[in-house]
C-alpha cells in the first residue's frame, strides 16, 4: 500500500504531480471552502503526510489521532495554525515555505501602505460611483509617503525587503525587533519610541503568545494622529476592538489590514463601517509564481520526509 498524502485544499495539478506515482494523493476538492473539521480528522487518521493551509487548525486533538502521520507541511511561512508542541511530542516534522514568498509579500505590504496613505480604494470608488465631480484642491488628499518615517516591527526577511522598498521611496526607516540587527541606514528603536516617531507603522512579527495583542489601546494611543498602521502579518497581533476605536476617534489617521483575528472577516464586523480602513483578503503571498514555488517546497518536504531523506524548512 502506498503512503497517503492528504491535501486540505484543491491545488493545481502541476503542484502535486511529482507525488502521484509514489504516493496515494488525496485532496479536498474545493478551492474556495476549507475542508470540514470532521473530514480532516477522518483523513488524518490514515495519512502519512498532511499538506495544510493556514486556515486549517492542526491541533493536539487531530495530531493525537493521526497515528501514521510523519509530516505536516504548511502552505505558508506562518505556522501559528499548528500545535508544534503536539507535533514534537509525536515526532512529526512540520515545515513551512520561507524565502520564496518574501519579495511578493513585501510588494503587497508596500502596496497596502501606498493604498492606505493615498486612499486609492476610496478614490477609485468616487470614479465608479459618479461622485467625482471635478478636480478639487484638497479632494482625496492623503498622507505623503516620500520623506516620511516608517517604523517596522519585526525585522525579519519580509521586514528587510519592505525596508529596501521604503528606502527607494526616500523614507526614513526605523525598526523594532527582539534582537538588534546591524543594518545600513536603519536605526533600532524601542517599541514605544517607534510608535511615537513613525508616520507609518508596519507589522511583520509572527503571531505567538508574546505578540498576541501587542498593538492595543495603549500602543495606538502613542501613535501620531496622522499615522497609518499596516498589518500584513497575522490578525491577533493588533487588538481589533482597540483599532476600531482608534480609527473611529481619529486617534490614528488610517489603517490597512490584510489579516484579521477571524478570517474571512464577517460582513457584519464593525471595522467595515470605517472609511479610513483599507481591507484585503489575506493575499500577502498571492503571486502566481510565488504560490507555485511555495507548493514546490511543500511537495519536496513531503517527498523527502516520506523517503527518509533530510527535510528542508523544518520548523520542528
**Contact code string over 254-293 relative to ligand DGY, x by CB under 6 A:** ----------------------------x-xx--------
By CB under 6 A, residue 207 contacts ligand DGY: no
Considering beta carbons, is residue 147 or 264 the nearer one to ligand DGY? 264
CA torsion 153-267-105-99 (nearest 10°) is: 90
Q: Collect all residues with Cβ–Cβ distance below 8 Å to 106 and sequence separation of at least 6.
A: 158, 161, 162, 164, 165
Binding status of residue 81 toward ligand DGY by CB under 6 A: no
Q: Which three cell numbers stand for residue 127?
A: 470614479
Among 3, 78, 159, 287, binds ligand DGY (CB under 6 A): 78
Q: How many CA atoms lie within 13 A of 18 on its CB side?
A: 13
Q: How far is the CB of 152 from ligand DGY (least distance, A)?
A: 17
Residues in contact with ligand DGY, counted by CB under 6 A, come to a total of 8
Burial class (CB in 10 A: 0-12, 13-18, 19+), 151: buried
C-alpha span between 308 and 316 (Å, rounded): 16
User: Which residue among 4, 16, 40, 77 contacts ligand DGY (CB under 6 A)?
Assistant: 77
* CB of residue 176 to ligand DGY, shortest distance in Å: 20
Q: Is 26 a catalytic site residue?
A: no
Nearer to ligand DGY, 123 or 283 (CB): 283
- Report the DSSP pairing between strands 228-231 and 24-27: unpaired
Per the structure block, which three cell numbers stand in for 189?
528603536
106 touches ligand DGY by CB under 6 A: no
79 vs 253, beta carbon nearer ligand DGY:
79
**Closer to ligand DGY at the Cβ: 28 or 204?**
204
- Candidates 3-11, 70-78, 111-119, 269-277; binding stretch for ligand DGY (CB under 6 A): 70-78
Instruction: Give the span between the Cα atoms of 218 and 242, in whole angstroms.
Output: 9
Does a cis peptide bond (omega within 30 degrees of 0) precede residue 100? no
- Helices 102-117, 120-129: axis angle to 10 degrees equals 60
Instruction: Give the nearer residue to ligand DGY in terms of CB position, either 70 or 282.
Output: 282
Q: How far is the CB of 8 from ligand DGY (least distance, A)?
A: 15
- Does the annotation count 282 as an active-site position? yes
Residue found by looking up cell 518615517 in the block: 149
The cell 523614507 sits on which residue? Answer: 171
Q: In the numeric block, which cell numbers belong to residue 283?
A: 493575499
- Burial class (CB within 10 angstroms; exposed 0-12, middle 13-18, buried 19+) of 91: exposed
Interaction mask 34-63, ligand DGY, x per CB under 6 A: --------------------x---------
> Would residue 90 show up in a list of annotated catalytic residues for this protein?
no
Catalytic member of 234, 240, 261, 291: 234
Catalytic residue among 42, 245, 263, 293: 263
CA gyration radius, the chain: 21
101 binds ligand DGY (CB under 6 A): yes
The stretch near ligand DGY (CB under 6 A) out of 13-21, 72-80, 190-198, 307-315 is 72-80
Q: Which residues are catalytic?
A: 234, 263, 282
Task: Summarize as ranges the residues that interact with ligand DGY (CB under 6 A).
Answer: 54, 76-78, 101, 282, 284-285
Amino acid at each position: 500500500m502506498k503512503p497517503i498524502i492528504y491535501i486540505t485544499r484543491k491545488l493545481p495539478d502541476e503542484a502535486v504531480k511529482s507525488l502521484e506515482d509514489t504516493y496515494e494523493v488525496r485532496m479536498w476538492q474545493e478551492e474556495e471552502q476549507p475542508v470540514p473539521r470532521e473530514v480532516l480528522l477522518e483523513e488524518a487518521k490514515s495519512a502519512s503526510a498532511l499538506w495544510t493551509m493556514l486556515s486549517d487548525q492542526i491541533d493536539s486533538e487531530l495530531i493525537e489521532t493521526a497515528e501514521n502521520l510523519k509530516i505536516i507541511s504548511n502552505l505558508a511561512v506562518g505556522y501559528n495554525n499548528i500545535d508544534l508542541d503536539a507535533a514534537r511530542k509525536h515526532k512529526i516534522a512540520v515545515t513551512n515555505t520561507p524565502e520564496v514568498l518574501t519579495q511578493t509579500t513585501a510588494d503587497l505590504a508596500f502596496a497596502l501602505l501606498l493604498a492606505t496613505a493615498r486612499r486609492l480604494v476610496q478614490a477609485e470608488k468616487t470614479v465608479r460611483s459618479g461622485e467625482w465631480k471635478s478636480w478639487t484642491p484638497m479632494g482625496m488628499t492623503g498622507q505623503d509617503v516620500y520623506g516620511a518615517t516608517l517604523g517596522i516591527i519585526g525585522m525579519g526577511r519580509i521586514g528587510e525587503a519592505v525596508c529596501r522598498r521604503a528606502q527607494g521611496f526616500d523614507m526614513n526607516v526605523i525598526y523594532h525587533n527582539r534582537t538588534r540587527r546591524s543594518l545600513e541606514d536603519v536605526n533600532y528603536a524601542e517599541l514605544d519610541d517607534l510608535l511615537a516617531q513613525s508616520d507609518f507603522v508596519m507589522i511583520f512579527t509572527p503571531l505567538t503568545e508574546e505578540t498576541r495583542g501587542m498593538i492595543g489601546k495603549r500602543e495606538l494611543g502613542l501613535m501620531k494622529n496622522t499615522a497609518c498602521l499596516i498589518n500584513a502579518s497575522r490578525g491577533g497581533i493588533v487588538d481589533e476592538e482597540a483599532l476600531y476605536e482608534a480609527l473611529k476617534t481619529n486617534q490614528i489617521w488610517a489603517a490597512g489590514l490584510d489579516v484579521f483575528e477571524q478570517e474571512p472577516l464577517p460582513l457584519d464586523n464593525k471595522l467595515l463601517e470605517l472609511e479610513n480602513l483599507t481591507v484585503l483578503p489575506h493575499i500577502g503571498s498571492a503571486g502566481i509564481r510565488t504560490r507555485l514555488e511555495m507548493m514546490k517546497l511543500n511537495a519536496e518536504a513531503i517527498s523527502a520526509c516520506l523517503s527518509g531523506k533530510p527535510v528542508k524548512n523544518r520548523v520542528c
